[in-house]
Amino acid sequence: MKTLITPQQVQRHAFAGLEPLAATAISVADIAAAESAWLRPVVGAAMHEALLEGRYADFVSDYLTTALALATRMLIQSRLDLRTTPLGTLSPKADNGSPADQAALNRLHTNLRHEVSILLRRASDYLDEHAEAFPEYDLHENILHRCMTDGGFVQIF
């Protein structure tokens, strides 16, 4: 399975400054799911395929890497917050802290979602402004051009 970023890039961009995760905590399938859920609806199928083929590496590096890393974290965070054992599903408890409550987890998820949305909007704006440099990009496939929520209002374009 081919993805635009690696598990190591997710670790570096979405978990920077935190304790390192186990090497198996982030899979290529997690990244592929994040790309399918968040990126492909914005850039479209043809552009996503071009990116997977290695075209536009600077665009991926400058505009997509952090967005995809955060989207991947958003998808896996709940799995990181729980442990499944023969005794069932447990919340881990460290010696120097306690598990976050549901309100804190909800705030984290909301903040991750908001940052991913901002970064993808930035990438979308760049594609729109430089469409001639990206012949595979079709602005009509970009979901951000069809519907957007802004300040609680739904805007349809």
Residues 6+ apart with CB under 8 A from 120: 38, 39, 42, 67, 144
Q: What's the whole-model pTM score?
A: 0.85
Look at residue 149 and give its three-state secondary structure: strand
Of residues 138 and 21, which shows the higher confidence score? 138
Domain range for 150: 7-156
Which residue is it, tokens 């349809």? 156
pLDDT digits 0-9 by tens, 32-64: 999 999 999 999 999 999 999 999 999 999 999
- Domains contained in the chain, number: 1
Backbone φ and ψ for 112, nearest 5 degrees, come out as -65, -45
Look at residue 9 and give its three-state secondary structure: helix
The overall average pLDDT reported for the chain is 88
Q: Would 2 be classed as within a structural domain? A: no
Q: Would 61 be classed as within a structural domain? A: yes
Query: Which among 38, 29, 31 is positioned nearest to 14, based on CA atoms?
Result: 31
Q: Would 1 be classed as within a structural domain? A: no
